[in-house]
Amino acid sequence: MKKVLKLLLFLSLVDILVGLYYFVCLILPKVQMLYSNDLTVYDNQNEVIIQTHHDVTGQYVSLKQMSPYLPIAFIAAEDQNFYQHYGYDLGGILRAAFNTIFKGNTQGGSTITQQLARTLFLSNEKTLSRKIQEAILTARIEMNYSKDEILEQYLNSIYLGHDLYGVAVASRYYFNKSCQDLTLDEAAMLAGIANAPAINAPDIHYEKALKRKNYVLSNLYENKQITKEIYETYKNIDTPIQIQPLAKENAYQFYQREIVKELKNLGLYTKKNLAVGLNIYTSFSTKVTDIVYQVLQQFRPNTDTQAAILVLKPYTNQILAMAGSFSVEDEYNRALMSVRQVGSTIKPCIYYMALDYGFTPISKFKSEKTTFHIEGIGDYSPQNSNHVYANRDITMIEAVAVSDNIYSTKTLLFLGTSKLNDFLSLFGVEARNEVPSAALGVHELTLLQLASIYNTFASEGKYYEPKFIQKVTDKRGKVLYQAKQTGKQILNPATTLILNQLLRAPFDANAQGYATPTLLNYQPDAIYAAKTGSTLQDSLVVAYNPNYTIAVWVGKDNNGPLYETSLSRKMFEEIANQLTTKENINDWYQKGLFLKEEKINPLTGYFDPNGSYYWFKD
């Protein structure tokens, strides 16, 4: 008697709560669903480069694009009263309640709509609050969408094992065919997976998959959707599977991972937004990307040496290409995540400050073995590469050309070590190294931070925060994010132009004196300003002209010694050459009205009719 009273009380409460929650759902805003979990990524020419569905290559498909057997098979497998109920199968609820109260065990009674609400909008946690949210969302979905629209969303979102969501990608994986071409027994087998993918997937437990397939066929026969003859025919055959592994990783799948990370950082990768689907407009160039990844494969060593590459577009915030490893399958993006000492690539920052202070490209310091006595620090003795010194006064041109450490140290000490930190802060880099060794690049930056500094030089002193996501809209066209397109003039344009011409010195044969210019043997076809940098574990080249800023890092993750020291230079030269066309081969900066051009002997600093062109304030 007590159990009967419990049941009556339960039913009364259910009646009250059902009426209440339907009223609440009626007055709430419409649940938005469109192309759920579809991400379409566009390049800088607005061409589609990535199309994913639930993070796997593919896209949302309509009911019309599916085999007619798929809808009826999933309804037979998961929710036989789908077209009769309003989000909840009361028979299923009562059955679950009866088993809970009278038998002491639990049984699920989730409908297709409930499953859809969970998949699109909720987490997997089993809490009371989530159950309440599920109830409200289920009713709102049923109130705002037709049964066919709900079923279509469900078939595009159902989990079918192996990180496969939706019937389109699952059909490709299990049967190597379009979901439009599935036969009745294939559709039944696919529908049978949904109940427990880890158990029922045919490539995991084929016999259990056949059993579930036959369960689906039996329900279809009992519901008079197939004849007995058809049921008997398909029940007694072993449905063949043809496992088709998902596409191999490529550059664009690497981009996809980085885009998802950035969407999460922007707070846009939410269930609410994904339920509608997203369009992502990027700055990536297909042409430049293909060049970068071809070069990576061309120069990939058979060692544990790693690489990262960035190509930026001057005068914009655009990242045209990005690589974080020699392997696209490597999820560690060294271009954005690895913080390393930058070596001598820091020196143009020091020389910009010196030029802005009043130095010129022919200002001289003596290059010799030197010990500096620094108050509060002690003695400091920087060394040149291979312990080679000019033992004479050298110009800034020669110092840049051969990357002289004594000259850069004297210059920074003259300016004050804190000045370099102040300079880096203009680019959002927090630096605290007020030490003389900062002149040799002990500051740690990501490759993107370093490239953004050089891209500012390339943009004549205007800083643009680099972004590869330019705009995000949902599939209805609503703009969710727009990157800032305008730059900020943070450096003196005239000083920057003098520096740009000065950074031609690493390619200048006239600058060969006590040492060889660092890029003398790596001159690309087009005109570039550039600086190299190295540590025991790293080798860098950062170069630019009005069209491209190219940053190449090669090094060791484990901080072991790097032996492929010329690899970054070879890769830079190859990328630069492949980017060169007959239209841009001679592109360079205009010195303007306030600068003058002089032919200079880089070793003496004097005018020389056979010298090289460098720029000075007029």
Q: How far apart are CA 137 and CA 28, in angstroms?
A: 10
Torsion over CA: 62, 68, 73, 79 (sign): positive
**DSSP string of 103-157, one letter each residue:** HS-------HHHHHHHHHH--S---HHHHHHHHHHHHHHHHHS-HHHHHHHHHTT
Query: Hey, how many other C-beta atoms are within 10 angstroms of the C-beta on 107?
Result: 12
Helix (H) or strand (E) holding 92: helix 90-103
Q: How far is CA 167 from CA 62, 111, 160, 272, 610, in A?
A: 11, 18, 8, 22, 72
Q: How far apart are CA 74 and CA 437, in angstroms?
A: 68
* Position 568, amino acid: S
**Nearest to 502, CA basis, from 335, 288, 348:** 348
Catalytic residue among 283, 285, 325, 344: 344
- Catalytic status, residue 344: yes
**DSSP string of 479-504, one letter each residue:** EEEE-----EE-S-HHHHHHHHHHTT
- The terminus-to-terminus CA distance of the chain in angstroms comes to 105
Coil, strand or helix at 595? strand
Cβ proximity of 392 and 403 under 8 Å: no
| Alpha helix ranges (H) inside 300-428 | 347-357, 396-402, 405-415, 417-425
Q: How far apart are CA 119 and CA 166, in angstroms?
A: 11
Catalytic residue among 78, 134, 186, 574: 78
In the structure encoding, which two tokens stand for residue 296, read together? 């990576």
- Catalytic status, residue 67: no
Contacting residues for 515 by C-beta, under 8 A, at least 6 apart: 384, 385, 388, 390, 402, 404
Q: How far is CA 487 from CA 45, 396, 439, in A?
A: 21, 30, 28
Catalytically active residues, by annotation: 78, 344
